Amino acid sequence: MRIVTWDRAGVSVPAALVASDEGDRLVDLSGVVASTLELLTDEGAAANARAVIDAADPSGFPLREGERLLAPIRPRVLLCIGYNYRGHVVAGGEGQPDPEHPDVFVKTANTMIGPDDAVLLPPQSDDVDYEGEIGVVIGRTTHAVSAEDALAHIAGYTLVNDVSARDWQNRTSQWTLGKCFDGFAPIGPAIVTADEVEDPTHLLVEVIRDGKTTVSQSTSTLIFPFAEIVSYVSQSITLQPGDVIATGSPQKLPDALRDHRPLTDGESVRIRVEGIGELVTVFRASEI
């Protein structure tokens, strides 16, 4: 199931995306569940939702295009992982050594926006950057689980753009303020339930900035795979259903690294992971 939150004429409703020849369509699930969280935590509710989806004639549902989606979930805790993909080794060069432990930081509640919201470029920063990441969505209370058990605690997968103000991020030892400007965490569009993601260890993460591919790397190159991240974090933070961990950004491709330039008004960043979806974020200058 591809779970979304649909802004249906101003009312936020739990919904699902279904494919049709004309593109994805939206099935309102507010008759079945009160929230998207229920679809992640209550197997009976999820089964009922699937029955509704399967029984209906998709052609009667509105097309996703033209409708507005909100963040599929409002995590109580949104965490991100620093350097977590082995870098591209350029000719004659060497990769960085693997870190011993995942480096974890927080995106605060003010950062979270939906997949159809633009990121406003804050006038306080001259260097806003993007990072395309897979977010694991927790399905049950998770405390000090082993890596073996951790996968069963992941209810689904979504996409997160970990937006950063690099100038602020690098001012101090802790990255918090650079990572936590308002709207710096677009999430979605959907949570794809774990049963529909066949092999999370071989997902190609692609990022396209204004038509040019700047990231293309598989989760097979993760230093800490999803299960290890969940296990490690859960030794400290008891995770709750709906919490999200963005699992780190692959290295940018050599061209993109060399030509680093801050995001500007009107640019768009497309994060694409086959089987999980596409998160397209437009960046806009703030009106001051």
Chain residues binding its own copies by CB under 8 A are 76-77, 79, 82, 99-106, 108-110, 122, 124, 143-144, 165, 168, 171-178, 180-182, 232-233, 235-238, 240
- Closer of 30 and 141 to its own copies (Cβ): 141
Taken in order 135, 136, 142, 148, is the CA torsion positive or negative?
Answer: negative
Question: What is the number of other CB atoms lying within 10 angstroms of the CB of residue 188?
Answer: 28
- Closer of 101 and 258 to its own copies (Cβ): 101
- Closer of 141 and 216 to its own copies (Cβ): 141
Q: 259 — phi, psi (to 5°)?
A: -100, 35
Minimum separation from the CB atom of position 76 to its own copies (A): 5
Report residue 176 as tokens: 């918090």
Minimum separation from the CB atom of position 21 to its own copies (A): 43
Minimum separation from the CB atom of position 251 to its own copies (A): 17
If DSSP codes are grouped into helix, strand and coil, which group holds residue 179?
A: helix
Amino acid identity at 131 = E
Q: Kindly give, in sequence order, each residue whose CB lies less than 8 Å from that of residue 288, ignoring residues fewer than 6 positions away.
A: 123
- Closer of 8 and 74 to its own copies (Cβ): 74
Question: What is the number of other CB atoms lying within 10 angstroms of the CB of residue 124?
Answer: 11
- Closer of 130 and 168 to its own copies (Cβ): 168
